[in-house]
């Protein structure tokens, strides 16, 4: 979700950027992201690791910081600047609804992101071996706290993604603030992992859970992690449009006079 891609006016009309090439960028970016996630969890949650962190809350804070940093770095990378660095089907849907991505690219991006999720997870399994299958690692698959019901997990995922999209939309709408977007997204990802990781799972990304769930077999709550972030993104995009409409109306009529209607 880079500034250079999101804020370019209507992306659908731009030339020189083929959907398949940008989808390939999304595949590569998501592969790197998921490999990084599997690597973090493998080394921080394997009891035999020299940097093992036994306290799950502390471990999730560290994983959140590292994940947010990786996301921000990927957004600034050359492939990230080309494709927009969504790495998240829910973000892709939101940007389409916010008129920042042509609809014909949505299925290409989503398929590429899910495939990248599987590829990155598989690569992590290949590189790190049996250690990633340990119960404490579980190939980086997310699962909610036993004390959280499915409805609570669903609402947490919806709410977190909703807030992220509203914040991103706010930055996108103001050229002076757009350069803060990669940092804001990285910070948001880190906070969600740190604050919700031990509770709802803190995913807010269907691609984050797709590959790990497929490889680990932890698919009980997969439907939540695939659907809730998308719903949150849709709601966030709707609020973005509403706020933009209200702001533009106020800017054009600061004294509150409504625009003239044709008689």
Give the whole-angstrom CA distance, residue 6 versus residue 179: 11
The domains of the chain, with CATH numbers, are 3-252 (1.20.1080.10)
SS (H, E, C) the chain: CCHHHHCCCCHHHCCCCCHHHHHHHHHHHHHHHHHHHHHHHHHHHCCCCCCCCCCHHHHHHHHHHHHHHHHHHHHHCHHHHHHCCCCCHHHHHHHHHCCCCCHHHHHHHHHHHHHHHHHHHHHHHHHHHHHHHCCCCHHHCCCCCCCCCHHHHHHHHHHHHHHHHHHHHHHHCCCCCHHHHHHHHHHHHHHHHHHHCCCCCCCCCHHHHHHHHHHHCCCCCHHHHHHHHHHHHHHHHHHHHHHHHHHHHHHHCCCCCCCCCCC
Give pLDDT tens digits for 181-239: 999 999 999 999 999 999 999 999 999 999 999 999 999 999 999 999 999 999 999 99
Averaged over 95-120, what is the pLDDT? Answer: 96
**pLDDT in the model for residue 151:** 97
Q: What confidence tier does 249 reach under pLDDT thresholds 50, 70, 90?
A: low
Report whether pLDDT(13) > 70: no
**pLDDT in the model for residue 258:** 46
- The answer, as to whether pTM is greater than 0.85, is yes
**φ, ψ at 47 (rounded to 5°):** -55, -25
Give pLDDT tens digits for 150-175: 999 999 999 999 999 999 999 998 88
What is the chain's mean pLDDT, rounded?
90
């Amino acid at each position: 979700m880079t500034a250079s891609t999101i804020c370019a006016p209507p992306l659908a009309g731009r030339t020189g950027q083929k959907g398949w090439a940008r989808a390939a960028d999304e595949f590569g970016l998501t592969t790197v992201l998921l490999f990084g996630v599997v690597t973090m969890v493998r080394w921080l949650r394997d009891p035999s690791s020299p940097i093992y962190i036994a306290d799950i809350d502390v471990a999730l804070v560290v994983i959140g910081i590292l994940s947010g940093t990786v996301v921000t770095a990927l957004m600034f990378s050359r492939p990230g600047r080309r494709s927009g660095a969504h790495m998240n089907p829910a973000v892709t849907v939101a940007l389409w609804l916010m008129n920042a991505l042509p609809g014909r690219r949505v299925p290409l991006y989503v398929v590429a992101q899910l495939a990248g999720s599987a590829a990155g997870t598989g690569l992590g399994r290949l590189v790190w071996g049996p250690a990633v299958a340990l119960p404490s690692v579980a190939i980086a698959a997310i699962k909610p706290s036993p004390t959280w019901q499915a409805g609570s997990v669903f609402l947490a995922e919806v709410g977190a993604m909703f807030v992220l999209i509203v914040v991103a939309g706010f930055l996108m709408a103001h050229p002076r603030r757009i350069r803060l977007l990669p940092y804001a997204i990285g910070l948001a990802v880190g906070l969600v992992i740190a604050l919700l990781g031990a509770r709802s799972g803190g995913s807010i990304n269907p691609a984050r859970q797709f590959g790990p769930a497929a490889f680990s077999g932890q698919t009980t709550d997969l439907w939540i992690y695939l659907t809730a972030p998308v719903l949150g993104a849709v709601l966030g995009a709707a609020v973005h449009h509403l706020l933009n409409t209200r702001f533009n109306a106020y800017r054009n009529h600061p004294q509150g006079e409504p625009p003239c209607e044709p008689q």
